């Protein structure tokens, strides 16, 4: 398999995972918590890195781009691992996962006023959806680690 095809697979995989997150949010009402949102940014970076890697010549900066793609996929896998641990109670999550920014920005008087709209925070320690006993964060971690391997294969591939 060529280097370009591996980059398309790796960047396309991140694009599909990002699209899946957006479909689950806007299509099925599974709103993301803070950690879910954090997991999306490295996927977006990987897609952009893939586009650059395909556009630039292999030498110079183009040579390092697949390694940066692997790093982006590894970053989202790491966040997915942390998120999985929070969901399963292996460790404590972030303070921002227990209350939304809209709540913390309100005064005590506004919090007591029932006419002030306050969105319910999405908690990082509650699993919104499971498939084969694994949460979306767990699946993101597993699939992102597979994408790391594809990025590394692309980086090691000779022209």
Domains and CATH numbers, the chain: 3-91+106-156 (1.20.1550)
Query: From CA 120, how far away is CA 103, in angstroms rounded?
Result: 9
Q: Provide the angle, in degrees to the nearest 10, between the axes of the packed helices 34-55 and 61-87.
A: 160
Instruction: List Cβ neighbours of 65 (8 Å cut-off, separation of 6 or more).
Output: 49, 52, 53, 56
Q: Provide the angle, in degrees to the nearest 10, between the axes of the packed helices 136-156 and 34-55.
A: 20
For the full predicted model, state whether its pTM sits above 0.85. Answer: no
Query: From CA 17, how far away is CA 40, in angstroms rounded?
Result: 8
How does pLDDT run along the chain (159 residues), one tens digit per residue?
888 899 999 999 999 999 998 898 888 887 888 888 889 899 999 999 999 998 887 776 678 899 999 999 999 999 999 988 888 888 877 776 755 445 555 566 665 666 666 555 676 677 776 768 878 788 899 999 999 999 999 998 875
**Are 110 and 128 within 8 A, CB to CB?**
no
């Amino acid at each position: 398999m060529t280097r370009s095809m591996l980059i398309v697979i790796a960047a396309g995989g991140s694009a599909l995972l990002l699209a899946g997150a957006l479909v689950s949010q806007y299509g099925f009402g599974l709103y993301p918590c803070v950690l879910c949102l954090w997991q999306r940014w490295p996927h977006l970076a990987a897609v952009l890195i893939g586009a650059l890697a395909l556009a630039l010549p292999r030498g110079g900066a183009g040579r390092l781009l697949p390694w940066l793609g692997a790093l982006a996929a590894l970053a989202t896998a790491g966040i997915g691992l942390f998120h999985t641990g929070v969901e399963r109670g292996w460790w404590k999550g972030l303070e921002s996962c227990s209350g939304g920014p809209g709540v913390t920005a309100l005064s005590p008087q506004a919090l007591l006023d029932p006419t002030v709209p306050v969105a319910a925070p999405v908690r990082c320690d509650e699993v919104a959806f499971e498939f084969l006993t694994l949460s979306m964060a767990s699946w993101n971690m597993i699939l992102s680690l597979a994408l790391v391997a594809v990025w590394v294969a692309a980086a090691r591939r000779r022209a």
